[in-house]
């Protein structure tokens, strides 16, 4: 039985690099894979960009209202017709931007079509709040694996700090794609609290008693 895998980590933990390596490993052994990502991720347009400089186009993108099962079967049929063999895996980048229903469809692909699904993404936003796609993946994935990176202090980074024009911010829309004005820094819990002034999820700690 195939499984749904969720591999998550803070920013700069090598998620896209790991995805591209997994795709390479499949193909080196003669298998065919499909790569996809949510359309909201505009970095590289239709490409997956690794911070090591490796780039690869996805086979398809997903809008929030896209039926994942239909889109997958469409491209799966194309692979079978072109190469005479089925798809061996579906790999998704930036899976945190998927809807809960789309994540449910990933599980259906793994279980009903017996095709492994490898989803890569971050767990929480810059306010330490889970993305809907990540929350659902944590709930239903067969396998959950953390890809680790380090904070500037040397501790393990678990949070994603958002900077606008070089200054940390802790309110705003959940989604702001990394770009010229908006950047992100992976932080451990201690450094995150130091930068936020103790704020988590937009709220200050209130002492009791």
Catalytic residues: 94
- Structure letter (DSSP) for residue 157: P
Q: Residue 143: in which H helix or E strand, if any?
A: strand 143-146
Number of helices (H) and strands (E) in the chain: give both, helices first.
5, 11
Here the tokens at position 38 are 């949510």
Burial 35-47 (b: 16+ CB within 10 A, else e): bbbbbebeebeeb
Distance from C-alpha of 6 to C-alpha of 43, rounded to nearest angstrom: 21
């Amino acid at each position: 039985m195939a499984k749904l895998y969720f591999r998550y980590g803070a920013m700069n933990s090598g998620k896209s690099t790991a995805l591209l390596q997994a795709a390479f490993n499949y193909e080196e052994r003669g298998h065919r894979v499909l790569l996809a990502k949510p359309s909201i991720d505009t970095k590289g347009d239709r490409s997956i960009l690794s911070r090591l400089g490796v780039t690869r186009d996805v086979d398809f993108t997903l809008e929030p209202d896209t039926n994942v099962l239909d889109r997958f079967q469409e491209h799966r049929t194309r692979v079978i017709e072109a190469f005479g063999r089925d798809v061996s895996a579906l790999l998704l980048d930036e899976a945190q931007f998927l809807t809960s229903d789309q994540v449910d469809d990933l599980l259906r692909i793994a279980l009903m079509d017996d095709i492994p699904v490898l989803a890569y993404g971050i767990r929480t936003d810059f306010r330490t709040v889970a993305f809907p796609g990540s929350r659902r993946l944590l709930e239903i994935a067969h396998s959950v694996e953390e890809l680790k990176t380090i904070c500037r202090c040397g501790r393990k980074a678990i949070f994603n700090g958002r900077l606008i024009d070089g200054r940390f911010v802790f309110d705003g829309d959940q989604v702001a794609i990394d770009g010229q004005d908006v950047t992100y820094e992976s932080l451990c819990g201690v450094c995150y609290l130091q930068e936020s002034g103790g704020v988590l999820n937009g709220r200050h700690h209130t002492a009791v008693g």
